[in-house]
Amino acid sequence: MVITTLGLLGCAQPRTITLNSAHRPIVAPPITANKRPKIKEEVLIGNNPNLGNRVDVPVNHPTLGIKVNPTHRGVDRLNGETMERMAFPEEEYRLLRRTGRSTVSGKVYLVNSTSEDIILGKKIKLYLNPITSYSRQWYEESYLGGYKMSAVDKRLYNYLKFTSSNESGEFDFFGIAPGDYYLIASISCGEECGFDQKEKIRLVKEVHVGSGVTTVELMKRVP
């Protein structure tokens, strides 16, 4: 009688089975799984449009739902040329309320992702920019995309709200109309943020302002 035994999948050493002294040992060779060839992501996306567009995942603590600018300084992606802004949508801005009775309060700071130290945005300027097709182009192309853009239309300044933070990084906007805004600030930071030299870090957050007081933290992890 002949008995055969299969090696288990994934075992590194072959098994030797001896029936008796009159039989030669039977060596069961290890069974290896067939390796499937790697399929490049570009091929998958190209052949399956339902998978969506290829996205570069940031290495700087990527967080689901939060897009992180790959660099802190502007990236020249147009070989010295600037991206042209869309025409200023006068009618869209004409429908916006410029003043209201709401308040936006909060704190602005950076967090060193290595040491977990907090770097406060002391005495820096912040502003609220109403979300429109015009400001969204800046947000997507400049802040997220890193493109340098042409000069802003000066009429935009009639709709911006400005304030400054105190020594603790705290700030308040008063007389704000309800609506959606980009809350924007910049903090200069060097070694305390893990950089070799001073870097200007832009911070932007979408904020919905309702009635009363809206509290928000404007922060980013660096480097």
What are the structural domain ranges in the chain?
A: 90-222
pTM: 0.66
Give, rounded to a whole angstrom, the gap between the first and last alpha carbons of the chain: 70
Residue 223 burial (C-beta neighbours within 10 Å; 0-12, 13-18, 19+): middle
| pLDDT score at 29 | 52
- For the chain, 223 residues long, the average pLDDT of each consecutive 10-residue run is 47 47 50 46 41 42 37 50 94 96 98 96 98 97 94 96 98 98 97 93 97 97 94
Structural contact between residues 123 and 193, judged by C-beta atoms closer than 8 angstroms? no
Mark out the alpha helices in 51-132 (DSSP H runs). Answer: 90-94
Give 14's contacts (C-beta < 8 A, 6+ positions apart).
7, 27, 28, 29, 30
CA–CA separation, 191 and 203 (whole Å)? 18
- Those residues whose C-beta lies under 8 Å from the C-beta of residue 148, and which sit 6 or more positions away, are 74, 75, 76, 77, 78, 82, 83, 142
User: What is the second-level CATH architecture of the domain 90-222?
Assistant: Sandwich (2.60)
pLDDT at 81: 79
What pLDDT score was predicted for residue 78? 57
Q: Is 160 exposed, middle or buried (0-12, 13-18, 19+ CB in 10 A)?
A: middle
